[in-house]
Structure 1
Amino acid sequence: MDEREAAELRSVEEVVDRLVEKYPGVDRRTVEQIVAEEHHEFDGRRVRDFVPVLVEKSAKKRVKALQRA
């Protein structure tokens, strides 16, 4: 794993932390699973600069919907 990949993974882990803090009614493991699923949607894509931002945006929608349910 190169430095860029490691930085992306750290950023995605921070997404989990932010969402868990913002939506305490949703179990951390559920948030981790949602973030992982959203992150895997970008597998194989060449441009990686905005992946953590895009992952957070799509995962936030799903976690927010769970909190409301």
Structure 2
Amino acid sequence: MAGKAREDEAIRAVVERLTDAFSATHSPVEVETAVARALASFTDRPVRDFVPVLVERQARTLLSGTSG
């Protein structure tokens, strides 16, 4: 369970970083939605060590592609 707590904390940090990075073009809700969408794509993956990094990359791509 400690691994889940670490992952949850890392995902919260991803949301904070992306909210700051995209504050000019996206609302916090849009950022959270992009992160949730990216995270959902890794739900069934057994190895979780790099999920936060991969989620951040995927969410950043989603947000960049829709920023205008």
Distance 1:43 1:65 in 2: 23
Task: Check conservation: 1:26, 1:66, Cα contact below 8 A.
Answer: no
Task: Check conservation: 1:38, 1:59, Cα contact below 8 A.
Answer: yes
Percentage of pairs with the same residue:
34
How far 1:63 moved relative to its partner? 1.1
Any unmatched runs of 5+ in structure 1? none
Distance 2:4 2:29 in 1: 22
User: SS at 1:56's partner residue?
Assistant: helix
Distance 2:36 2:63 in 1: 13
Q: Does 1:63 align with 2:66?
A: no
Distance 1:65 1:45 in 2: 25
Structure-1-length-normalised TM-score: 0.90
Any unmatched runs of 5+ in structure 2? none
Distance 1:46 1:11 in 2: 17
Please give the per-residue CA displacement for 1:14-42, whole angstroms capped at 9, x wherever unaligned. Answer: 11100110111200001001101100111
Structure-2-length-normalised TM-score: 0.91
Structure 1 counterpart of 2:10: 11
Q: Count residues with an aligned counterpart.
A: 67
Structure 1 counterpart of 2:52: 52
The runs of at least 4 aligned residues of structure 1 exceeding 4 Å deviation read none
